[in-house]
Homo-oligomer: A and B are copies of this chain.
Amino acid sequence: MIIQQRTVIQQRTVFYLSDRTGITAETLGHSLLTQFEQIAFQEISIPFIDSPAKARRAVERINQTAQEDGATPICFSTLVDTELHAIVRQSKGFMVDLFGTFIGPLEEELQVASSHTVGRAHGMADMQRYRLRIEAMNFALDADDGASDKDYQRADIILVGVSRCGKTPTCLYLALQFGLFAGNYPLLEEDLVSGDLPDIIAPYRQKLYGLLIDAERLAQIRQERRPDSSYASPQRCQEEIRACRQLFEEQAIPWINTTTRSIEEIAATILVETGLQRRLF
């Protein structure tokens, strides 16, 4: 009889503790955790810890989890308020102080005291910044279904590519993350046959950036949208991608293959390659 060896995977609960949305704590904490693939993490976000009472409730939850898990929870904190941070530090969690760790050295280097103000990063502190993002998102949404010449004039960048190659999510991400006005132009079969740039985008050649995708993946995506259509057929997808690539090369339009890249990677690559200045950080 063969006794199968049991693989024991370590499990840990992770808490993200924040006085505002928790996004900063989640972003860095999650990045750090991806370095420990051997461990199964259960992630829990506790945002809006903005009073001693809420801090104490967070402590109770961490301590209860420690008991249930029989393992120390990992806590990533971006709490700015020293009183609140002092409370959560008393929990049984392993505290990673993402904020406090660097504030001291930065104060010393900059020779000024930090304001210790809560939640400036994703709050409404900067109203102008916020409105810019919304405006940029609305631009991406409005320009999505048939942009006008006026839209293209206003655009910081215009993504071109065949249907379902990733234009819209990328435009929205460029708007949300960088405040950029990103338009797009879907290359239709007739555009690809002619081999010329469509008239409406030809004047904006300098703003064009191409998206390509592997034909196989494209067919898969289209199949989910319109099963068994000619639109989703492998032959048509192959043909569109081939013609699209040829157009980009003949017209000297820079392009990126989106197949194996996340939205963040596509957006960051476009910024680096075009030298486009983001409108916000």
Contacts and interface: CB of A to CB of B under 8 A. Distances in A.
Interface of A: 10, 12, 20-24, 26-28, 30-32, 34-39, 43, 45, 47-48, 72, 74, 78, 80, 94, 96, 98-99, 101-103, 105-106, 109-110, 112, 114-117, 120-125, 130, 133-134, 137-138, 141, 144, 166, 168-169, 172-173, 176-177, 260-265, 267-269, 271-272, 278, 281
Q: How many copies does the complex hold?
A: 2
Given A21-B264, A268-B23, A31 B120 contact: yes
The 4 tightest CB contacts between A and B, nearest first, are A34-B120, A35-B114, A31-B121, A21-B268
Given A74-B109, A264-B21, A265-B20, A103 B28 contact: no
A40 to B, nearest CB: 12
15 contacts: A23-B177, A24-B27, A30-B121, A32-B99, A35-B114, A45-B278, A48-B269, A123-B265, A124-B260, A124-B261, A124-B262, A130-B262, A134-B166, A141-B168, A176-B263
A257 to B, nearest CB: 12
Given A28-B98, A141-B168, A272-B47, A35 B116 contact: yes
A47 to B, nearest CB: 5
Given A21-B264, A24-B28, A109-B94, A121 B34 contact: yes
A57 B45 CA distance: 38
A169 B106 contact: no
A12 B111 CA distance: 12
B110 A12 contact: yes
A101 B104 CA distance: 14
A102 B80 CA distance: 18
Contact of A10 (B110, B141, B269): B110
Given A35-B116, A124-B261, A264-B21, A30 B106 contact: no
A75 B175 CA distance: 25
A230 B118 CA distance: 40
Nearest to A23: B264
Nearest to A166: B134
Contact of A103 (B35, B134, B137, B262): B35
Nearest to A144: B141
